Structure 1
Amino acid sequence: MTTRRRILGGATAAGVMAGLGGSLAAAADGSGAAGVDPAVRRRRARDAIVAVNSGMRANYAALKADLIAYLSPVLVVENDAKGGRFTLVHDGGQESLHPVGEVFELAKAVSHVPLGIFSIIAPHLGDRVPNIPGADRIDAHDLKMVAFGATGATGWITPLRSYADTLTAARRQLGGAGLPPGMAASCARVLDGALRFVEVSTAAGSFDIRSFEDFSADVHAALRTNMRYAAEAQIAGVQGVLRKWRAEIGEESWKDLYAVVLSQWATSVRNQNSLIIGPCMNPAKVATHLIDLPCAEPPEDPVFVALDNLARIVQDDIAAELVFPTDHAAADALKGPQDLLADEILDQLGGATAGGTPYSAPASAGDACPLRRRGTDGG
């Protein structure tokens, strides 16, 4: 492979250093800068210093780009509606597939019905938290931001009826989908409950948080049943493909497997696929080799995004020990997701946690801290 490095030719190392030294001396004594405005000289000097970091970044990026071709074996998982697209990268080759059975997608599709209705009616829920079970778990400020529309508006009726048409079509075809009996019953309960909510709400031209919670609470048991079927399909499919690939590449390669799971922030902790993959990896390396990578949106090329990030992680693992050979705390920071300046910043903040100046409500507000109401010690 062609590398980015070229050998300096036509000059010895001593000659190169002499040339650099002369340039630095000239810059230090201001030669050639007679008559230049002091502010301009300072800007040039600072730009020259910043160029040092620019040079580092260019070489760092080049190393990362070269390293990608040597990453192996790597499991890349892109979470999606079908349970995840899995790609095995090994010795320059790739294989991709969706290993999870279709029951997963079907169970999730129906389970998302309450969220689908919520997404249509949310702007018109009203910005006041009613006296309902779990009212203290609803952030009043967040509710005001989500319920940004007028409560008396009727613009939600048409899209809700349109969504109901989709639900009706699914309900009519449910019997022919070949679902397990228990799952078919739970899907019917969710769809029937949703259609009743739509019918009552659109006929009355109104709804509120309480009426929506009544609907969602009524179908909760059915949702849990669907979750069980989805989880069973997920586990069977993922474990099956991991066994297949493990046998193909052999134990010697498998023990060094990296797994990069791409997901959105909301599912990046205890991600469904990560939970299944972890026990199938080398136990000694799970903590460092199973990487949950949150993405703002699903990337166009998830394999490249995963490998690009992994290359950074791998080269930082080695660089950390060589750049900070006598400071293991700094080395650990460079190797992990912690910012290298985190400890220093916390020291200078007096050990305060992230979040800045602690919030203090006016005396007249009483115990208004939402975090405290949620059962934490924060304030």
Structure 2
Amino acid sequence: MFAVNAGMRSNYATLKAELIKHLAPVVVVQNDAKGGRFTLVTKDGQVSANPVSQTFELAKSIAHTPLGIFSVIASYLADKIPNLPNADRMDAHDLVLVAFNDDMSTAWIEPLQAYAATLTTARRNLASAGLPAALTTSCGNILDGGLAFINASIAAKHFDMASFEAFSGSVYPDIRTNMEHASQAQIAGVRDIMKTWRAKVGEEAWADLYCVVLSQWTTSVLNQNTIIIKDCMNAAKVATHLIDLPGLETPADPLFTALDNLARIVQDNIAAEMVFPKDTTVADALKGQQDLLSDEILNQIGSTTVTTPAAPTYNTVATPGVCPVRK
């Protein structure tokens, strides 16, 4: 009896392996520090590019300064939440888990000094980076603020959440400026490569385009590339052909991972209707992210509904450089 399922899995894997060879056209996006590695798969082969300008990576890199400092000092924070404006938004148990080192220790000084050296080098090279004036100013403010916090903390051999939040809050307007410039660069780069590939593939084939975006779980909802790509696809098929594929870490072979999962999705789409022709609800479960047993389990435990996050809504026309997602 167990062999029935084993046989099914073997046959299923064989079909999937062969189907991968026929998947086209497909755009696979591997999110990375450069704004995304894009690969177009067609029946004639593959082509890859990092289409986003360096402004994106530089703007984000400097904006990460507060998080870089936090990552050094976090484990040495006192495990008590002070009277801060956002105190009620912090989970006390989470803080205990993060602040696992002795808050009286000064072992954080050496790694913080090393990070300060990195910030100092970045500050020295900022003027020659060729960035827009507003972005150069905001980057300078962030780096200066970070170095001021580090120097004051080392001199006092002490820091706390209040002092860190005072620093991070002071550079927040500059971080927003960096976010604006990074977004503009990413939107322009992604739209340009998708336009180029659309012309290469042709309108008829592009209408059936699948896009698979690989991301980490923490960025899988409203992923930046997913938002931009949506408007570059056939609007009638976005719901089924634009696929966010969250994972834990970057897979060893991102392209194979994307195509392997897409092959599973495509063959399940057809299998669902043919295996369950008399029950469209179950067919939809096989075609989507729902487990086949979920409805039956809900019935048996006395619940027939599951709360799911609302789907994002998009502006049909977005001003260049502005996020198309309605707040």
CA RMSD between the two structures: 1.1
8 Å contact kept, 1:74–1:258: yes
State the shift of 1:274 in Å.
0.3
Highest Rg: 1 or 2? Answer: 1
CA positional deviation for 1:125: 1.0
Aligned-partner Cα distance in 1 for 2:154–2:102: 16
2:49: which partner in 1? Answer: 97
Determine the C-alpha separation between the residues in 1 that align with 2:133 and 2:265: 47
User: Contact (CA 8 Å) 1:78, 1:86: kept in 2 or not?
Assistant: yes
CA–CA separation in structure 2 for the residues paired with 1:335 and 1:68:
18
1:327 aligns with 2:279: yes
| 2:121 matches 1:169 | yes
Gap change, CA 1:353 and 1:331, over 3 Å in 2: closer
CA distance in structure 2 between the aligned counterparts of 1:349 and 1:258, rounded to whole angstroms: 37
Q: Which residue of 1 is the match for residue 244 of structure 2?
A: 292
> Are 2:20 and 2:260, in contact at CA under 8 Å, matched by a contact in 1?
yes
The match for 2:107 is 155
Identity of aligned residues (%): 62
Q: By how many angstroms is 1:349 displaced?
A: 1.3
Task: With the length of structure 2 as denominator, give the TM-score of the two structures.
Answer: 0.93
Which structure 2 residues correspond to residues 230-249 of structure 1 after superposition, within 5 A?
Answer: 230-249=182-201
CA positional deviation for 1:301: 1.2
Shift of 1:332: 0.2
Q: Distance in 1 between the 2:186 and 2:306 partners? A: 36
Task: After superposition, give the CA deviation of every residue in 1:314-356 in whole Å (9 maximum; x if it has no partner).
Answer: 000000000000100000000001111111111111117779x
Look up the equivalent residue of 1:287 and give its one-letter code: A
**1:6-155 alignment to 2 at 5 Å?**
49-155=1-107
Q: Deviations over 1:97-131 (max 9, x none)?
A: 00000000000000111110011001011111111
State the TM-score, normalized to the length of structure 1: 0.80
Residue aligned with 2:235, SS = coil
- Superposition map of 1:305-344 within 5 A: 305-344=257-296
User: Matches of residues 173-252 of structure 1 in structure 2 within 5 Å?
Assistant: 173-252=125-204
Q: 1:253 aligns with which of 186, 205, 216?
A: 205
Report the CA distance between 1:215 and its aligned residue. Answer: 0.4
The letter of the residue matching 2:214 is: L
Higher relative contact order (CA 8 A, sep 6+): 2
Structure 1 portions without partners, runs of 5+? 1-48, 356-379
Of 200, 214, 219, the match for 1:262: 214
Q: Distance in 2 between matches of 1:352 and 1:324?
A: 21
Cα separation, 2, equivalents of 1:336 and 1:342: 12
Conserved? CA contact 1:69–1:92, under 8 Å? no
Contact 2:60 2:178 in 1 (8 A): yes
- Tell me the distance in 2 between the aligned counterparts of 1:123 and 1:354: 37
Q: Check 1:164–1:353 CA distance in 2 against 1; reply closer, same or farther (3 A cut).
A: farther
**Corresponding residue number in structure 2 for 1:277:** 229
Letter of the structure 1 residue corresponding to residue 162 of structure 2? R
User: 1:345 and 1:201 mapped to 2: Cα distance?
Assistant: 54
C-alpha distance in 2 between matches for 1:80 and 1:353: 37
Q: What SS is found at the alignment partner of 2:231?
A: helix
Partners in 1 of 2:86 and 2:300 — Cα distance? 40
Instruction: Verify the 8 A CA contact 1:113 1:194 in the aligned structure 2.
Output: yes
User: Which residue identity is paired with 1:211?
Assistant: S
- 1:259-282 Cα deviation digits (max 9, x unpaired): 000010000000000000001100
Kindly indicate whether the alpha-carbon contact (under 8 Å) linking 1:73 and 1:254 is maintained by their aligned counterparts in 2.
Answer: yes
Structure 2: stretches of 5+ with no match in the other structure: 308-327
**Alpha-carbon separation, structure 2, partners of 1:349 and 1:207:** 50
Q: Which string of whole-angstrom CA distances, capped at 9 and with x for unpartnered residues, describes residues 44-78 of structure 1?
A: xxxxx111101100110110000000000000000
Residues of 1 paired with 2:241 and 2:184: CA distance? 25
Q: Counterpart of 1:370?
A: none
- Secondary structure of the equivalent of 1:280? coil
Distance 1:321 1:352, change over 3 A: closer
Contact 2:230 2:238 in 1 (8 A): yes
Amino acid across the alignment from 2:78: G
Shift >6 Å, 4+ stretches: 352-355
